Structure 1
Amino acid sequence: MLEKGKISPRQTGQLVFISIHATIILFVPAITATAAGHDAWLSTFTGSLFGLVTLAIVSWLSVKHPGQNLFQYSETVFGKYIGKLIGLAYVWLFLHMVAIIVREFGDFMTTSFMPNTPLSVFNFSLLVLCAWAVIAGLEAIARMNEFIIILVVSFLLLIITLSIGRWDLGLLLPFYSRGIMPILEGAQAPAAWHGEVVWLAVIIPFMTRPGRAFLAGAGGIIGSAILLTTGVVAALAVLGPELVSSFRFPFHLFTRTINIGDLLTRFEPVVMTTWVAGVFLKTSIFYYCASLGLAQVLGLSEYRLVVLPLGVMAGTLSILLFPDVTVLSQFLGEIWPRYSISIYFLGLPSLFLAVTLIREKIFGTKFGGTKRD
């Protein structure tokens, strides 16, 4: 086995939470407010629940194929060659996501804090740290997250709590003024972010209690949905939907409005610190999945052999894929949700489910697997 570490259901749920929330809080409020206006918070919560659909399929597949991850049961379900092609498709997904996350990090840092620093400095610095974490293994990543998630959640709750005195709930009205379609349109982006839970299909075999995968993942998804929706409500109540939709990083602007008696102010470093920590963990998770997946598809005995080459590829892609942050924002709001959900988060998992059922019910194939604790 390429990975010998084990993580608990609690650690799994924490990783699911950080893998979603690390980047969603900065980009999604503007995307949902542009589509849904005052009802952006409804779009956020509605879209977040889509992650439970992907999680349910992934958890069911893990029961049907015990001890195997996504890259292994791809070959079990579809055969060696088609299975390897599907495995490579998911390797590309995870590598693509690493490049996107790293670019989000670089653009946020250059736009909001250090505009004179080259983008490549931030991108490759982050990837070097993440490569170190990936080489250390899944268990090390999970243990780091146990500490970092406390900082991320505590600081976000602190910022939201300190802003309550400036809330004007009238800015959330009129409620449901434009009907259901703008809400559903705005829900696409948070749905795509929460659909990223598909990475759980790679690490379920490394859980100490794989049968708890759905409960652990659901806890992470619901926790992220509640905190994100609360953050969007706070941003709308302070800035209004027009300002939230017009700024690229509205939560950063929202943080700058906090001023408690001229003593507690300038919380931007808090946002930067928590976001950098969260992005480091999220990048490490998908970087790990890409590395492990490629090693399994190629039949290697050690996934660490491909970590550095994949890091170079991800860093290069993070710079070449998008000419500027405007194109990145448009991609995340308009293209990424349809592309990722239709193919990777719902399309292929549903195909796995359908083929597994057809082979069981019609052809009598026994994949094994009773529910495990």
Structure 2
Amino acid sequence: MERSSLTVWQFFVLALSFLIGTSFFFIPGGLIAVAKQDAWIVPLWAGGAGILASLVWLKLAKQHPGLSIVQICTKVAGKPLGGLIALLYITYFVQISVFITRNLGDFMKQTLMPLTPLTVFHVMILLISGYAVIKGIETIAISSEFLFLVMTATFIFIFCFALTEWNWNRFQGAFRMDVWKTVKETRSIFGFPFLESLVFLMLFPFVLKKRKKTFILAIAVATIMLSLTTFFTIGVLGVTRASHDTYPLFVIVQEIHIGNFFEHLESTIALLLLVAIFIKLSIAYYCSVLGLCQLFRITRRFWVTLSLVLLISGLALGYDNVVENIEFSKKYDFEYTLIYSVVIPCVLLLVTRIRQSGKKQTGESGS
């Protein structure tokens, strides 16, 4: 394993950036289409479920200190079966990287550069993220610290100016949702972004102290920020407009006009999305490469990283358009992610407990 360590602040920034990076852009519109004026409540219970799931991951990591999820699988289930489960996790990390990459391509092609082939966007962001992966997790963390502050300051600037369009009347009819129906129709938010943060089981060994508190705090802050963003979107655009736009935040920025000085700021929000995707993609990409190196005992990351550029960019072309991506996420993302984020970790934790109790009983009978 790479001999690196992350500070508490760096780990917090990485976790928070991963959770909110692309969520700001892609989640509010879908939530508002289903839950209307009450859409801002949905992230709150989804974040609560994410914290409960994280407790399982943290407990599993505590039972196997210094090991990633790939190494835990081979240790608990043995090399044949455990290796297969570890390979499934690596495949899952690659799939997350694929979705992040395609999200960037769809956004850029739909909003700014409609004539540019998707592959151009994919290869460009993958090469940049790949370079960061080759340099290591500390490089990703340090760059994320700076980019996170820039991204946060720019978002605050945009939100302050967009408040000129705020209207409380757009919340009329609130608190009328059917809770069970809303949970069922918005269940994809449990998978993206909260259960996806399972990837940090690959990064826990790099955090030497306050890992549990920092990770839970990152999920809690991301939950509140996502809820506030959805609330803000409703207040500025209204339910009808927000629910019919794929990227409502981009529409808000497009309509900011302050005199003849501040206008056409959509390029700014595009840069913010590039920054957010770079951080999130670098984390998922790094976990994919690290998992392959650990499973197959590869000492150099360069060729693994380079080969994954071709694989991820190719797989990112696997569906036709952004609508198909959204429909897949709505129907299958939660159930698919649940297997990796809850079912398998619980089984691994249960097997660990059984083995520990068996060793304890053997030790007591021997004495």
More deviation in 345-354 or 274-283? 345-354
- In the other structure, the counterpart of 1:27 is 26
Letter in 2 for 1:334: K
- 2:294 is the counterpart of 1:286: no
- In the other structure, the counterpart of 2:179 is 180
More deviation in 124-133 or 182-191? 182-191
Q: Is the 8 A contact 1:33 1:241 kept in 2?
A: yes
- 2:329 is the counterpart of 1:332: yes
- In the other structure, the counterpart of 1:369 is none
- 2:31 is the counterpart of 1:4: no
Q: Report SS of the residue matched to 1:332.
A: helix
More deviation in 195-204 or 331-340? 331-340
Cα deviation, 1:263-301, whole Å, max 9, x if unaligned, reads: 322221221111101101111111100001011111223
Change (3 A) 1:351 1:264: same
Unaligned 5+ segments in structure 2 are 363-367
Change (3 A) 1:254 1:185: farther
Q: Distance in 1 between matches of 2:167 and 2:93?
A: 40
Q: Distance in 2 between matches of 1:365 and 1:332?
A: 46
More deviation in 188-197 or 101-110? 188-197
- In the other structure, the counterpart of 2:97 is 98
More deviation in 212-221 or 78-87? 212-221
Q: What's the TM-score once normalised by structure 1's chain length?
A: 0.92
Change (3 A) 1:279 1:364: same
Q: Is the 8 A contact 1:40 1:186 kept in 2?
A: no
Q: Distance in 2 between matches of 1:216 and 1:128?
A: 30
Q: Report SS of the residue matched to 1:346.
A: helix
- In the other structure, the counterpart of 1:207 is 207
Q: Is the 8 A contact 1:291 1:304 kept in 2?
A: no
State the identity as a percent.
25
- In the other structure, the counterpart of 2:234 is 236
Q: Distance in 2 between matches of 1:91 and 1:25?
A: 26
- In the other structure, the counterpart of 2:351 is 355
Letter in 2 for 1:100: F
Report the Cα offset of residue 303 of structure 1.
3.3
Letter in 2 for 1:279: I
Letter in 1 for 2:205: P
More deviation in 96-105 or 5-14? 5-14
Q: Distance in 2 between matches of 1:86 and 1:313?
A: 20
Q: Is the 8 A contact 2:57 2:345 kept in 1?
A: yes
Q: Distance in 1 between matches of 2:260 and 2:219?
A: 37
Of residues 271, 280, 304, the one that matches 2:269 is: 271
- In the other structure, the counterpart of 1:53 is 52
Change (3 A) 1:354 1:170: farther
Q: Distance in 2 between matches of 1:157 and 1:215?
A: 26
Of residues 308, 315, 320, the one that matches 1:323 is: 320
Q: Distance in 1 between matches of 2:335 and 2:242?
A: 23
Of residues 234, 256, 259, the one that matches 2:257 is: 259
Unaligned 5+ segments in structure 1 are 367-373
